[in-house]
Structure 1
Amino acid sequence: MLLSGLVLVLASLPLPPVEPPPAWVKPLAVPRVPEKTSGSFHTLVRDTQVRATPDRLETWERRVWKVLNQPGVEALAKQQFSWNPASETFALHGVWVWRNGKRRDAWHPDDARVLPQEDDLAAGLYDGRQKLVLELRDVRPGDIVEYAYTRRGENPVFKGHVTLWADQAGDSAVSLLHYELTWLRERALQAFPRGGAKPPEVTTTDGGSVFSWTLENVPARAWEEHAPDDVDQLPYVVFTDWSDWATVRAWAETLFALPASGQEFDDLVTQLQALPEHQRAREAVRMVQDEIRYVGVELGQHSHQPHDPAWVLERGFGDCKDKTLLLVSLLRAVNVEAWPALVNTDAAPGFATEPPSASHFNHAIALVNLPTGPVFIDGTSTLNRGPLENREPVPYRFALVIRPGETGLTNIDRPMPMAPTWDVTQKWHTAADGTATLTIVTVARGHEAPALRRSIERRTREDLERSWRERRVEDFDTDLTMVSLDWSDDAEAETVTLTEHYTVARFYDNNGDHDFRTTAISGDLVWLPETPRSQPWKIDAPLHVHERIEWSNAAPLEAENFSIRDDVVDAEVFLLESQQTVREGKLVLEWTLKNTEPRLEPSQFTAHRIATQRAADTTRYTVNARSKVEHRKPKKEGDLLGLGIGVLIVMLLMTALTWFGKARERWEKMKARVRVDAFRSKQTGSAGELASQPAVVASLAEGMKLFTSKNCPRGHLWNAATEAGGVRLGDERVTVLERRCSTCDANEHRYVKLKA
């Protein structure tokens, strides 16, 4: 009903006005198109001018592009503009297409529509934003497309405070990039350059200041995926008039100072008070998390201000701040101290250095003071179980607690989980006929438990059985028949156990081999692309995963039939320990993976690739039906005589061939020695090229001498060699030396081990 109402209202809205630009705007001349361009279009002008007076905030934008080809037509012939009608107005100044030096008006009301934007509808959020969609007529390669508009207004929830972000580069080249902010308000405005941005030029004007920059021929900046959230990949400037975090906290206190009243609220409090005192906080959390649906009606000031608890209880839904205020109100009503807290769900360690601003936060949680100590609770996380004091920390790094006297951010510790949060055991058993059974037991603990619990409770059994079977067919690359799928839930221990039973028609492949392979461990290894990269790589940490494979056979397995070894890969950001044993007639393979650091620096990439490959090598183990275990069918009595005669003949032949075999063996050894000597003579100067065979050197300086060629394969001079990190492989610490070619980005490595 809510969505349909929004669609009906917004679809009937009139088009925005088309009017001249504000008098204070100072348009710039369009520069010439550069001789060399690339891509589908080139940005000629990117001009933003902002004016902040005591009673109004206005932003004027102008863009001018050169269309280079047909993909550029596809990209620029449709234009979209968005605004929030609850606090802003939008005015279009014009859309134009230039061809052969002539400018024509490209605004046609019949080709324009105002539509609801609602980008976060799938996540249950409604913010009421609108967008104007224009389909431009007759745009061709070689044309120039231009538009200009002004947005006026600001969200009143910030009470006149302003935070603005202004980029100094983008994903396409710009001939002329201009930004100008005229500040005419009483509060002091601060500018914080980030990501290598140039500080703005600051001049004074009547009643205020002007911050500006004009940049020419700005190159495109490529965006690299998987970078930590505190890495500034583009240069930009943050403007803010928030003086400190205490000011932000005082502002937020007024938003959450809403009374909790109403019959439904009173009834809930009565229910909680009827429980033993030690159960009240846990039940209040369960009610808010599981009985209040996550739906955010974030229209106008409710983008940041919660609805009062009576509003939430009447509807049975709310967003993060609504749930947080309801939870805090319920806990306080039963004498449990609790406070709202603001967080950024993407915040990395560098968030602590951000300039103070309310605009940094995109989520609300609660800080609850339990008898065992304070704990952060996320009201939007569902199906959590177990005592509150034993739950894993929320997956955020910093919080601004909305409590009197708070003057800064609170760090949220995320220690390595003591027990694996994802623990998988594969139990294989082969029969004498070569078939097998497979049982997989997955134990989810900590934050993984509610995730698995949600997956189970929100799907049908048929859907679960189909999806898990398909997942295992992909994991093992073989056809499996599911016998059963069962699960159990230990709420007090916050542990969910899923058990899968399968039959396997053929354990060995056509070559008589079977590959045991991990499913969880191999999936959590971080593989870096080989393409050049300048930004760090984001790592999911802390992470603690364990996997075990057991294999039993119709006949007991014996240790002498297997190559058994333990291994440790201790890398910059992860630790993998593997063990292999044969005990009680079973082959047992075991792995533990821990991600220890949240980011991988470019200087660590080479060592990480080596460590990841070494780790991946340990996650597979191959057994062969002929060399390890032979599956034999029982012999009939009538076959025994023939078998005995056959054995006797084989023994006579072996005796006759022994003398010839020894002579041939001596001949083959001599030829092999000649081949080895020849190979060694060809490998002079190649020491340390393999990580598995590091060169032993007295110092890193000696290791640098292992690089013998002066030029890269394309003939350019190598840069000086540098240390590129290290990795522990088993009991050895191997140092990686690297040199690069700055012309073609070629690289080569040497691996050395320092003498003790």
Structure 2
Amino acid sequence: MLKHILFSACLILAFPTTVLAEVFNKTTTPDWVSVRDVPAADHLSERFMHNGRETLLEDHQILIRDRGHSIFRRDVFQISTRAGLDDAGLVTLFRAREDALSLNWVRIHRGDAVLDVTEQLDFTVMQREPGLFDGIVTGNETLSAPISQLQVGDILDIAWTKDVVPPIFEHEFQHGLTEMPFAPVRARYHSYTISEARPLYVTRSPALPLTVTHKNGFVTKELALFDAEPPEFDLYQPIWKHPFGEVLVTTFSDWEQISSGLAEAYAPDRNLGPLAQRQVQEIIAASETETDRVTAALRYVQSTIRYHGDQIGAGGYIPREPYLVEERGWGDCKDKALLLISMLDVMGIRADVALVNTFRGKSLDTVLPGPWLFDHAIVRVHGAEGIYFLDPTEDFQGGRGPEIAHGDFGFALPLIQGGSTLVALPDLASVQPLEEVFDTYDFVNTTDVAAELYVDHIYRGALADQERRKLNAQPLTARGKDFLETLEYRFEDIEQIAPLKVTDDLDLNEVRYTAKYAIPQSTFEKNEQWTKFWLTPSKTKYQLPDPEDLSDKEAELPSSVFAAHRVRLMNAPYAINRPEEFTEDNEFFAFTRQGNSGENWIEAAYTLTVKQDVIPADQIKSYSESFEKYHANSDHWYNLLYKGHEPELTETVVFGNLKLGQLINFAFLSLFAAICFVAVRNSYRTTLEQQTAM
């Protein structure tokens, strides 16, 4: 993946003694830095206590040069408890080849005394290449040094400076930070100084004041916060919107500048190497359509080139030549993307690499441009069936051409000559549910077994891709255990009586599981399943957020949900009615319940489609009203009436709105009333005839 450093400042805020370094020096403070006063500590303040310490000052000062930039960082803490001593008593340095770091000072303020312990710190290598588990090599290693002299009650003051020259766009600048701190802070400053001849753009909320000063041909833009606390975390806040707010500072004027600036490095390269060249010719010979060729090329790159990223220096941003990637047999997202578009280029199919953000992509159109906003590379294909996107970093994907799934990235930046602005990734509309379940309960009602359950579970699209990855990582028996454990939450002692079977249609991108289970009589009786048997269409019942869990802020909806769940009951002890039809169709979701029936069976079919990915704050009430209607009809239960292994006719399954026993009683009463009516009528006629005769 591309290096994702938009929120590097956030990481430093989370771990205040963390820095990046290539060369570790101990030196004095640069003359361009302004040393600020430290706010007074308040030992009795619980409001600003966090992990046993109180953050008095966070000071970030950045000088933007014609080539690269310099960063000064200072953090001051009041150590309040032993927990604070453990949290802040270790200086940790993350080394990075592109940065040169100088440790300015590490000071301990104890009463009126000031102890400078900078020269006494003894750093040791604690970890090398922390990204190896993800297949990423960065050249980083972690150094740490304990501050042995630190005591509870001390004030710790740490300052460092580093010079950075980025491997791409070395004459430009971009920096991201959060509007609100991750922990309470007395005073927080971020200042950016640049020549008055150069533009510097800043996005922020109006609540965060910006001060601008001019001096000696330079302009300084400063953001300051005082007595600031982190906002409350909202579980349902959209993931692509930073919960702490965000500020972006950049010299880039537009997205086209970034697109065109990287276009040459990401242009198709026909020097593929012998294996890929041969593969291209084989694909052309075996394929009838362009879609066939695109699909085959994608599967070749996904299955042949292992994911491994050498992201040292420019390797984090510039792809390697396709022949080298093929020769090594590995590459990261940008390497695989370039290899794929190069293969397609040889086939006469136009394609280009596009950059995306895997977490924050849906908000890219709301922020200022910057190349370090992206952390992943995919491919845009200009095909005969239209423009569509593919992700060669994925694996075990099914489907063909434009039907192949890609991440919900929101926006992408194609890298082309002349430049491109952001483009919206299309939604992959499906005419069939992405997840579909058919549960059939056959009430065999033997001495030991109450019912047999047949499960037919289908995954499509991206969900089918996920299932293939699971099956590749574990045996089918393990997947069967997963399904069984899910059923055990509802039916204790349920047994699998037929092995789990799986079928996989790669072109249709459909993975299908079938299995058979036996539910013991003991489970039905213990849990009163006979008198209250829920259909439990879980794939449509538990997908939407409950309004009780939402705040008054906008909330995220699971936009990828398109699910169907059918439940059939066969050979129930007594005749039962199918559920009534119900529909709730609104701007947020569409939900339906349909009932079907046949000889000895009834069926309820549920579908749920989520229409949008967010509930605006001013529509929470409207969503709540729609949810209540949905929730009231999202399940159905029956009284199957089977106690002590003998049917009890006075209480049977719900039949319309009446129980069968009630219907029988009603029939007897009606018959008795009719007999009485006839008797009275005949008596009345006899009396009338006698009176007439007289």
Return the TM-score normalized by structure 1. Answer: 0.76
The answer as to whether partners of 1:120 and 1:126 remain within 8 angstroms in 2 is yes
Distance, in Å, in 2 between the alignment partners of 1:285 and 1:14 is 38
Question: Which of 102, 126, 136 lines up with 1:125 in the alignment?
Answer: 136
Distance, in Å, in 2 between the alignment partners of 1:314 and 1:236 is 42
The answer as to whether partners of 1:342 and 1:361 remain within 8 angstroms in 2 is yes
Query: Within the alignment, does 1:398 sit opposite 2:407 as a pair?
Result: no
C-alpha deviation, 1:207, in angstroms: 4.0
SS of equivalent residue, structure 1 residue 156:
coil
Alignment of 1:123-522 (within 5 A): 123-184=134-195, 187-193=198-204, 195-257=205-267, 259-261=269-271, 262-278=273-289, 279-347=292-360, 349-392=362-405, 394-414=407-427, 416-433=429-446, 434-474=449-489, 476=491, 479-506=494-521, 508-510=524-526, 511=528, 512-513=530-531, 514-522=533-541
C-alpha deviation, 1:520, in angstroms: 1.8
Distance, in Å, in 2 between the alignment partners of 1:165 and 1:573 is 33
Change (3 A) 1:360 1:117: farther
Q: Deviations over 1:426-467 (max 9, x none)?
A: 111011325221111111112212111222233213322222
Distance, in Å, in 1 between the alignment partners of 2:632 and 2:492 is 18
Change (3 A) 1:345 1:64: same
Moved more, 580-589 or 543-552: 580-589
Q: Deviations over 1:658-714 (max 9, x none)?
A: 99xxxxxxxxxxxxxxxxxxxxxxxxxxxxxxxxxxxxxxxxxxxxxxxxxxxxxxx
Change (3 A) 1:170 1:108: same
CA RMSD of aligned residues (A): 3.1
Moved more, 43-52 or 169-178: 169-178
- Runs of 5+ in structure 2 lacking a partner? 1-20, 649-664, 674-694
Specify the alignment match of 1:680 in structure 2: none
One-letter code of the match for 2:561? L
Q: Deviations over 1:58-106 (max 9, x none)?
A: 1010001112333323322234333422x11122122223222322234
The answer as to whether partners of 1:422 and 1:442 remain within 8 angstroms in 2 is yes
Alignment of 1:642-661 (within 5 A): none
SS of equivalent residue, structure 1 residue 508:
helix
Specify the alignment match of 1:24 in structure 2: 32
One-letter code of the match for 2:544? L
Question: Which of 572, 579, 597 lines up with 1:582 in the alignment?
Answer: 597
Change (3 A) 1:537 1:71: farther
Moved more, 577-586 or 310-319: 577-586
Specify the alignment match of 1:552 in structure 2: 570
The answer as to whether partners of 1:347 and 1:398 remain within 8 angstroms in 2 is no
Alignment of 1:566-605 (within 5 A): 566-570=581-585, 573-605=588-620
Distance, in Å, in 1 between the alignment partners of 2:582 and 2:441 is 23
C-alpha deviation, 1:301, in angstroms: 0.8
C-alpha deviation, 1:132, in angstroms: 2.9
Specify the alignment match of 2:688 in structure 1: none
Distance, in Å, in 2 between the alignment partners of 1:529 and 1:61 is 43
Tell me the percent identity. 21
Q: Deviations over 1:223-259 (max 9, x none)?
A: 4344224535435432111111111111110221374
One-letter code of the match for 1:41? R
One-letter code of the match for 2:503? S
The answer as to whether partners of 1:172 and 1:221 remain within 8 angstroms in 2 is no
Distance, in Å, in 2 between the alignment partners of 1:543 and 1:288 is 29
Question: Which of 87, 90, 98 lines up with 2:101 in the alignment?
Answer: 90
Specify the alignment match of 2:72 in structure 1: 60
One-letter code of the match for 1:479? I
Query: Within the alignment, does 1:615 sit opposite 2:634 as a pair?
Result: no
Distance, in Å, in 2 between the alignment partners of 1:298 and 1:83 is 14
SS of equivalent residue, structure 2 residue 25:
coil
SS of equivalent residue, structure 1 residue 274:
helix
Specify the alignment match of 1:7 in structure 2: none
Distance, in Å, in 1 between the alignment partners of 2:222 and 2:70 is 16
Distance, in Å, in 1 between the alignment partners of 2:398 and 2:122 is 54
Q: Deviations over 1:315-345 (max 9, x none)?
A: 2111111110000000001111111111122
Distance, in Å, in 2 between the alignment partners of 1:402 and 1:49 is 32
The answer as to whether partners of 2:121 and 2:145 remain within 8 angstroms in 1 is no
Query: Within the alignment, does 1:538 sit opposite 2:556 as a pair?
Result: yes
Distance, in Å, in 2 between the alignment partners of 1:69 and 1:42 is 10
Specify the alignment match of 2:544 in structure 1: 525
The answer as to whether partners of 1:168 and 1:177 remain within 8 angstroms in 2 is no
Specify the alignment match of 2:687 in structure 1: none
Moved more, 341-350 or 623-632: 623-632
SS of equivalent residue, structure 1 residue 27:
coil
Query: Aligned residue pairs: how many?
Result: 620
- Runs of 5+ in structure 1 lacking a partner? 1-12, 634-650, 660-756
Return the TM-score normalized by structure 2. Answer: 0.82
Change (3 A) 1:454 1:173: closer
Q: Deviations over 1:342-377 (max 9, x none)?
A: 112224544212212111211111111222222111
SS of equivalent residue, structure 2 residue 26:
coil
Distance, in Å, in 1 between the alignment partners of 2:229 and 2:380 is 46
C-alpha deviation, 1:110, in angstroms: 6.5
The answer as to whether partners of 1:73 and 1:139 remain within 8 angstroms in 2 is yes
Specify the alignment match of 1:112 in structure 2: 123
The answer as to whether partners of 1:483 and 1:503 remain within 8 angstroms in 2 is no
One-letter code of the match for 1:257? A
Distance, in Å, in 2 between the alignment partners of 1:610 and 1:123 is 44
C-alpha deviation, 1:313, in angstroms: 0.8
C-alpha deviation, 1:305, in angstroms: 0.8
Change (3 A) 1:366 1:56: closer
One-letter code of the match for 2:524? Y
Distance, in Å, in 2 between the alignment partners of 1:519 and 1:440 is 13
The answer as to whether partners of 2:358 and 2:376 remain within 8 angstroms in 1 is yes
SS of equivalent residue, structure 1 residue 160:
coil
Distance, in Å, in 2 between the alignment partners of 1:30 and 1:619 is 58
Moved more, 29-38 or 537-546: 29-38
Query: Within the alignment, does 1:36 sit opposite 2:45 as a pair?
Result: yes
C-alpha deviation, 1:541, in angstroms: 0.6
The answer as to whether partners of 2:391 and 2:406 remain within 8 angstroms in 1 is no
C-alpha deviation, 1:420, in angstroms: 0.3
The answer as to whether partners of 1:387 and 1:492 remain within 8 angstroms in 2 is yes
SS of equivalent residue, structure 1 residue 509:
helix
Distance, in Å, in 1 between the alignment partners of 2:646 and 2:100 is 79
